[in-house]
Amino acid sequence: MRRPLLPTLLLACSLALPALAAEPAKTPKPAKRICVNVKDGSRSVQGTDLVIEPGEKVKDAVAVDGDVIVKKGAVVDNDVVAIRGRVILEAGARVKGDAVSMGGEVRVPTGARVDGNATALGGKLKLDKPEDVGGERVNFSLEFNGEDLVKKFISKALDEDQKCHILDDEDDSDDKDV
């Protein structure tokens, strides 16, 4: 029985909540770049792309405000999630779980494989061959006057003023709010 997608989405959402300064900034700040390598072999980033290189094997891959790129010969044991980014598989890449993009697209070319579901919310699902996805193929986008309302909703939900708490699994005494 496959593990549910909820833990992966919770990890992604915890990275998606941006930190706020005490006073409102008058000029936009550059995007924060956070990379978390979890002990169980999962990887996640914020504000940059996550590239799973050939020969690498990771448990879950999550990017917030960036793309997840799974190269030829790379394997993701569970799920790949991109929030406000794309999931891009190269031919020869494999995702044993689900491939999900919220606010972007999911690309599965010929020769790539997603054993679970491929889902694009507020973006496009681009499959060369539908049989390269073992589960359901879901593409949900709603445009009004040329604007994608699903993508706008996702961005607005993630841009809300919230606080993020990052935990370091090795030493909980150094936990800090960012």
pLDDT of residue 53: 95
pLDDT of residue 111: 96
SS3 13: helix
Over residues 13-71, the pLDDT tens digits come to: 454 444 333 344 444 444 455 556 666 789 989 889 999 999 999 999 999 889 999 99
Residues 95 and 82 sit within 8 Å (Cβ to Cβ): no
pLDDT of residue 47: 87
pLDDT of residue 18: 43
Sign of CA dihedral 17, 159, 78, 2: positive
Which residues are within 8 A (CB) of 30 and not within 5 positions of it... i.e. 6 or more apart? none
Q: How many CB atoms lie within 10 A of CB 135?
A: 15
pLDDT of residue 112: 97
Q: Give the separation between CA 34 and CA 155, rounded to whole angstroms.
A: 19
pLDDT at 3 > cutoff 90: no
pLDDT of residue 161: 44
Query: Is this prediction's pTM over 0.85?
Result: no
pLDDT of residue 2: 56
- Residue 126, token pair as written in the block: 């681009």
Q: Where is pLDDT greater, at 168 or 130?
A: 130
Over residues 99-148, the pLDDT tens digits come to: 999 989 999 999 999 999 999 998 899 999 999 999 999 998 887 888 87
Which residues are within 8 A (CB) of 57 and not within 5 positions of it... i.e. 6 or more apart? 41, 74, 75, 76, 77
Specify the residue for token string 């491939």: 99
SS3 154: helix
Q: Which of 5-9, 87-91, 173-177 has the lowest mean pLDDT?
A: 173-177
- How would DSSP label each residue in 76-140? ESS-EEEESS-EEEPTT-EESS-EEEESS-EEE-TT-EESS-EEEESS-EEES-GGGBSS-EEEE
Nearest to 82, CA basis, from 12, 19, 30, 149: 12
pLDDT of residue 169: 43
